[in-house]
Amino acid sequence: MSALQDLQLKWPRVLASIRKVQGGLSQLTPAMIRECKLDAEQEVRKQGLPGQIIKKRFDREATSGSRWAALKPSTIAARIRKGFGRGPKLVNTGALERDAIAAANDSFTIDLRRRLKPDDIGLEYAVFVNNGTPRMPARPFFAPYDSDELAILMDAASKAFRSAALRRMRLA
């Protein structure tokens, strides 16, 4: 699939707005399209939008509308003994949340083919928290984006792509 065909599938609104500009898409070479895509990804990362989505999941203790399982009484008792208190569910020291937010921002790509995995965080226990174990229910903070989350990311990426394309067309 060519860069232009890929773009037509993913961003019809962006292409429509670029076509309105004098010369339109004919000024964009496949290399320029790839550069615009990279610029758009970098802009979304800089805005921190993927990390904001992960942060909301931690704050709501839910992914895509599904609330995470409650902590067992024994877990609550252990947290209190260790000085962490009763909640939030996945935050004792904050390391998991902090590293998950950073990993989400660092790894965002527009095509979303490379899905973020708990292994990307660098904290050994992240995979167990996300996927669960025989003794602990999953609390999937790295579940695929839901339609609302995806709309936020793609809207920001589309605007950034359009801006990068228009900038390159002026320079061409």
Query: DSSP state, 25?
Result: G
Report the DSSP beta bridge partners of residue 136: 133
Q: Within the chain, which residues score under 70 in pLDDT? A: 1-27, 87, 110-122, 171-172
- The full DSSP string for 81-117 is HHT--S--TT-SSSHHHHHHHHHHHHH--TT--S---
Residue labelled with tokens 């990279």: 38
> What pLDDT, on the 0 to 100 scale, is given for residue 116?
60
Q: How many CB atoms lie within 10 A of CB 108?
A: 22
Tell me how far apart the alpha carbons of residues 17 and 2 are, in angstroms, rounded to a whole number. 20
Q: Which of 103, 138, 112 is nearest to 40 (CA)?
A: 112
Q: Give whole-number Cα distances, 83 to 74, 76, 92, 99, in Å.
A: 14, 11, 9, 22
Res 161: pLDDT: 84
Residue 158: predicted pLDDT: 83
pLDDT reported for residue 134: 92
Please give the pLDDT value at position 47.
Answer: 92
Distance CA 78, CA 123 (A): 21
For residue 52, the model assigns a pLDDT of 93
Cis amide linkage into residue 88, ω under 30° from 0 = yes
